[in-house]
Structure 1
């Protein structure tokens, strides 16, 4: 079959490679001048530092099949994400751990003592937290909430934590030991020469044609047996029902000599600091050595029509509009919506790859059975 994939990021590359190996003729289009989507990495010509152009991407997963998959196309070097935060005039480790608690309160608590102490700080009257703020107050109390979560969250999401669901904070762990590795997953690492080279290797197949600087319109799908679309769900329908809400990021790039901040990621929890964090990119490849350094100050704001959409907002109004677009998509034959933008969900890279592999497998099964491929392999709702 002739298959069109819209987007040359992880979703398009993984689905395209799978179906090319299954004997299909694959065309991938992308509006940008490069492959890789937001995972795109490139060498900074001034310093030689490998830069994560659209912000840092750190690979972590418990899915052994996905880990084996990415290592087939790139050597992954061990990497632990150790985040620091500057708050109220001091530097602390994130996620909140035993060191953070002891440093913040000037104590020397052991794990059991710290649990008991935080329970005393917490608002036990909140039996069933519904909002981000209630979740924080219930589990860490007002002091740690104010220092590490409130200001950062207001900057990141552009609204009060009272408007955000408790589920957002449930992803942020509190540890009662000195483990400052941000992630729990078994497999964690960074591609030795960057995500761009990894995705280029995935796309390196004679049955795959990639067309960059190419905008997609729904009419183009008529020349193909099926379309996999990883662009914005509402964009496929020309925003006819309205625009789904996103947050976008602005990066203020600057260079320096030596080591600017001593870590890859420094968050800024205070509300009066306009940026959410500073990332120093050479620390994402600690096996390399560079005299110069490249840093990004990161600012979050509401995405406009011409901005790159990063984080789906998914509050009540957005979920209602999303349901309308999902209904519209399910009435549209010949196209399957995939990836972060196509399903309007925040997805880590490993989940994106897992769902892409599952989508390709579902397509092969549907084709073999003569069945129609659904609009979504994983429902956005």
Structure 2
């Protein structure tokens, strides 16, 4: 079969590779001038630093199959994400751990003492937290919420934490030991030569043709037996029902000599600091040595029509519109929507790859049995 993939990010590359290996003729297009989507990396010509062009991407997973898959194409070097945050004129460790608690409260708690103390701070009158703020107050109490979550969240999402769902905060751990590894997955690391080179190797197959700087036209579907769409779901329909809400990011790049901030990621929790964080990219490749340094100040704002969408908002208004777009998509034939943009969901890289592999397996099974492929392998709703 002739199969078209719209988008040369992880979704298109992984599913496309699997179908090419199965003997299908795969074409991958992307409107941008590079592959790898938002995990695109490039070697900075001035400093030699490997730069995460659209912000840092750190690979972490408990899925052994996904880890085996990515390490099939590139060696991964060990990497632990140790985030710091500047709040009220001090630097603290994130996620909140025993060191953070002791430093913030000027205590020397042991784990069980800290656990009991935080339980006393928590607002136990909130039995079923519905909003981000309620979840935080129920979780850690007002002091830690104000210092580490409130201002940062207002900047990141552009709204009050009272308007955000509790599920956003449920992803963040609180630890009653001194473990400051942001993630707790079995497999963590960074691709030795960058994500773009990894994706290039995935796409390097005689059955795959890649064309960049090429935007999708509906007429292209007529020349292919199936289309896999990993662009914006609403974009497929020309935004006829309106635009789904996203947050986008602006980056203020600057360079320095030596080690500018001593860590890869420094959050800024205070509301009066306009950026959410500063990232120092050479620390994402700690096995390399560079005299110069490349840093990004990161600013979050509402995504406009010409901006790159990063984080789906998924509040009530968006969910209503999403339901209408999903109904439209499910009425289509010959197209499958996939990935972060195609399903309007926040996805880590490992989940994206797992769903891409599952999508390829389902396509091969369905076409082998003469059955149609669904619009979604994983429903956005």
TM-score range for the pair, normalised by the shorter chain length: over 0.9
Q: Name the counterpart of 1:144.
A: 144
Paired with 2:219 and 2:262, the residues of 1 have a C-alpha distance of 51
Give 3-state SS (helix, strand or coil) of 2:298's partner: strand
Cα separation, 2, equivalents of 1:188 and 1:298: 24
Structure 1 unaligned runs (5+)?
A: none
Match of 1:202 in 2: 202
Cα distance in structure 2, aligned partners of 1:348 and 1:218? 29
Deviations 1:7-35 (A, max 9, x none): 00000000110000000000000000011
Flag as ranges the 4+ runs of structure 1 deviating above 3 A.
Answer: none
For residues 138 and 56 of structure 1, the distance between their equivalents in structure 2, rounded to whole angstroms, comes to 30
Matched with 2:368 is: 368
Mark the runs of 5 or more structure 2 residues left unpaired by the alignment: none
Contact 1:129 1:138 in 2 (8 A): yes
Q: Deviation per CA, 1:256-308, whole angstroms, max 9, x where unpaired?
A: 00000000000000000000000000000000000000000000000000000
What corresponds to 1:24 in structure 2? Answer: 24
Measure how far apart 1:139 and its partner are. Answer: 1.2
TM alignment of 1:331-370, pairs within 5 A: 331-370=331-370
In structure 1, C-alpha distance between the alignment counterparts of 2:89 and 2:120, rounded to whole Å? 25
Q: Secondary structure at the match of 1:266?
A: strand
Measured in 2, the distance between the counterparts of 1:114 and 1:218 equals: 59
Question: For residues 329 and 103 of structure 1, what CA distance do their matches in structure 2 show?
Answer: 51
Distance, in Å, in 1 between the alignment partners of 2:319 and 2:186 is: 33
Name the SS of the counterpart of 1:214 in structure 2.
coil
- Which residue does the alignment assign to 1:65? 65
CA separation in 2, counterparts of 1:218 and 1:230?
15
Tell whether 2:33 aligns with 1:33: yes
CA distance in 2, matches of 1:239, 1:166: 29
Separation (CA, whole Å) in 2 of partners of 1:137 and 1:110: 22
Distance 1:54 1:241 in 2: 28
Q: CA RMSD, aligned part only?
A: 0.4
Render the CA deviation track for 1:303-351: whole Å, top value 9, x for unaligned: 0000000000000000000000000000010000000000000000000
Deviation at 1:122, TM superposition (A): 1.1
Q: Who is 1:216 aligned against?
A: 216
Which whole-Å CA distance do the structure 2 matches of 1:80 and 1:60 have between them? 9
Rounded Cα–Cα distance in structure 2 between residues aligned with 1:219 and 1:157: 37
- 1:103 counterpart residue number: 103
1:325 equivalent in alignment to 2:325: yes
Once the two structures are TM-superposed, the CA of residue 163 in structure 1 deviates from its matched residue by 0.2
Name the CA distance, whole Å, in 1 between partners of 2:222 and 2:55: 35
Number of the residue aligned with 1:14: 14
In structure 1, the residue matched to 2:159 is 159
Query: What residue is the counterpart of 2:313 in the other structure?
Result: 313
- What is the alpha-carbon distance in structure 2 between the residues aligned to residue 222 and residue 106 of structure 1? 67
Distance 1:357 1:370 in 2: 20
Q: Mean alpha-carbon deviation: is it higher for 327-336 or for 210-219?
A: 210-219
Question: Could you tell me whether the CA contact under 8 Å between 1:218 and 1:236 is conserved in 2?
Answer: no
CA distance in 1, matches of 2:235, 2:168: 26
Q: Do the aligned partners of 1:217 and 1:236 also contact (CA within 8 Å) in 2?
A: no
Query: Which whole-Å CA distance do the structure 2 matches of 1:334 and 1:252 have between them?
Result: 41
Q: Partner residue of 2:261? A: 261
TM-score, scaled relative to structure 1: 1.00
| Count of residue correspondences | 381
